[in-house]
Structure 1
Amino acid sequence: MARVSQAHLDARRRQILDGAARCFARNGFHATSMQDVLRESGLSAGAVYRYFASKDEIVAAIADEAFGLVRSAFADAAAAVPPPTPDVLLGRVLTAVFDQAPPEGDRQAFARLIVQVWTETLRNPALAATLNEGYTAMRKAWADLVGTYREAGLMPPGPDADHVARTLIATAQGFIAQQALFGDADPSVVEDGLRALTTMRNDASPEAR
C-alpha cells in the first residue's frame, strides 16, 4: 500500500477545516451538524473522522488557528525596527489577519467566525483558557511596546502601559465586531481613525473648542 505523504494529509485536514469554517460562518457552531461539514468539504465520514473525532474538535482546531493567526500577525508587525506607531501597527495586524484567514477572500465571514469563537469561550473552558492565554500575552507585548515608544520619545509618560495595551486590543476587537456585523470595513479605516485621534490638540482655547 502506497504511503500517503504528509503534504496530502495536511491538505486533507485543511480541506476539512475550510469547509467547516464556511459552515460555521454561515450558520453558527451549534446550527451546523457534522453532516453539513461532510457536504461542504466534499469528503466521506470516514475521511473526516480520521482527523477529527467530533465537531467540538473541529471547533477547537479552528479556534486555535484563529488565535494563533492574530498572535502571529501582531508579532510580525511589532518586530519592525523601529516599531510602527499604534495606528500603523493595528492596520498591519488586521490586514494580515483578514488577508490570510479562511474562507479566502471573505473578510466578513471570517470576522463572524472570530466573534463566534469568542462566544464559544463562554461555555467551553478549554477554549476560554486558550483565549485567556493569548489575551494575556498580547497585553504584555503591547505594554512592552508602550515602553519602547516612550524610550523613543514617541509617547509621553503618563497612563499605565497596561491601560494603553487594553485600549488598543479593544480597538482591534471592536473593528472585528464591526466587520462581522456590518461588513464593508477596511483596516485602513482603523489606521486613519487612530491617527486622527492621536494627533488631536488639547491646547486649544475654550473659545476654539
Structure 2
Amino acid sequence: MMVSTAPRSPASGRPANPEARAQRRENILAGAFRCFVRKGFHAATTAEISAEAGVSVANLYQYFPSKDDLIKALVQADLAIDLELVRMVDAADTLAEGLEHTTRMLVTDPDLLSGVRLRLEILAEAGRNPVIAEEVRRAAAQMVDAIVQLIVRRQRAGEVRNDVSPETAAELILSMYDGLASRLAFGGGDPAVLARAADQMILTSFGVGRSPPT
C-alpha cells in the first residue's frame, strides 16, 4: 500500500527540467497502468509500480503521494482518450463515418481494450472509495457534455433529429459503448459485428428520416 509522504525539494541550485518531469510522470502512470491491469489496485505494490516505471519508490512518492493520486491521474488519462475519440467522430465528414472509424479502433486496438479492463477496476474501486467515486463522476460528466455538444452540432447539420434530447442521447450512447467495450475486453461476441450493430443502432434511433420511437 502507498502511504502519504511530503514531496521532496530538488537539489539546491539544480533547476527543474519540466520536460524530464513530465516524461517521468508519464512513465510512472504507464507503469501503474500495467501493474493495475495485471494485478489490480490492492495487489499491486509500490515497489512493483516503481520497478515497472523505472524509478525509485521515493521518486514515485514525489509525483503521487498516495495510491488514490495515481488512480485519479489514470482516470484523467482515460478521460483524455475518450474525449479524443469524441473529437475524432466530430471531425469526420458524417456522423456515420466518425462512428465507424472510432468503433473500428475500439475493436482492433489492444491498448484500448486494456484500458477498458482498467476502467472496470476503477469502477469497482469507486464503489468502495468516495474519493475515486467523485473523480469518476466528474470524468463521466465531462464525457456526457462532450457528446451533448457533438449531438447538438450534428442536429444543426441535419444528421440528428431535432426531437432528440441531446442529454438523454448522450447518456444512452455512453452507456451502450461502455457496455460494448466491457464485453469486448473479455472476449464476448464478435467485435466487428457488435461494433457495426452499435453504430447502426445509434444512427437508426437518432438519425434524420427516422420515426420517433413509440
Q: What TM-score results when the alignment is normalised by the length of structure 2?
A: 0.72
C-alpha displacement of 1:67: 1.9
Q: Note if 1:15 corresponds to 2:27.
A: yes
Q: Which amino acid aligns with 1:192?
A: R
Q: What corresponds to 1:124 in structure 2?
A: 129
1:113 lines up with 2:118 in the alignment: yes
Distance 2:97 2:160 in 1: 13
Verify the 8 A CA contact 1:149 1:155 in the aligned structure 2.
yes
SS in 1 for 2:55: coil
**Distance 1:50-1:190 versus aligned 2 partners, 3 A rule:** same
Once the two structures are TM-superposed, the CA of residue 51 in structure 1 deviates from its matched residue by: 1.5
Residue of structure 2 equivalent to 1:5 = 17
The residue type paired with residue 43 of structure 1 is V
Give per-residue Cα distances to partners, 1:126-159, cap 9 Å, x unaligned. 3322322232233334334434434433333445
- What secondary structure sits across from 2:43 in the alignment? coil
Deviations 1:61-89 (A, max 9, x none): 112211232123323532x275x326733
The answer for the alignment partner of 1:142 in structure 2 is 147
C-alpha distance in structure 2 between counterparts of 1:141 and 1:14, whole Å: 25
Deviations 1:23-72 (A, max 9, x none): 10001111111122123223222222221212222122112211232123
CA contact (8 A) 2:117 2:185 kept: yes
Change (3 A) 1:135 1:86: farther
* Structure 2, gaps ≥5 residues long: 1-12
Q: Which residue of 2 aligns with 1:54?
A: 66
Instruction: Return closer, same or farther for 1:3/1:71 CA change in 2, 3 Å cut-off.
Output: same
Residue 39 of structure 1 pairs with residue 51 of structure 2? yes
Structure 2 counterpart SS, 1:50: helix
User: Following superposition of structure 1 onto structure 2, how do residues 1-209 of structure 1 map, counting pairs within 5 Å?
Assistant: 2-78=14-90, 80=91, 84-85=94-95, 88-89=98-99, 91-92=101-102, 95=105, 106-182=111-187, 189=193, 191-197=195-201, 198=203
Alpha-carbon separation, structure 1, partners of 2:210 and 2:164: 16
- Tell me how far apart the structure 1 counterparts of residues 148 and 88 of structure 2 sit (CA, whole Å): 16
Distance in 1, matches of 2:198 and 2:51, equals 43
Give the % identical residues: 24
DSSP 3-state at the match of 1:136? helix
Find runs of 4+ consecutive structure 1 residues off by over 6 angstroms: 200-203
Q: Distance in 2 between matches of 1:34 and 1:90?
A: 40
Q: Within 1, Cα distance between the matches of 2:111 and 2:204?
A: 33
Q: How many positions carry a matched residue from both structures? A: 195
The alignment's TM-score, normalised by the length of structure 1, stands at: 0.73
Give, in whole Å, the separation in 2 of the partners of 1:49 and 1:144: 38
- Corresponding residue of 1:206: none
Name the structure 2 match of 1:102: none
User: 2:189, 2:47 → 1: CA distance?
Assistant: 31
- Rate the CA distance shift 1:94–1:141 in 2: closer, same or farther, 3 A: farther
Q: Residues 30 and 144 from structure 1, CA distance in 2 versus in 1: closer, same or farther, beyond 3 angstroms?
A: same
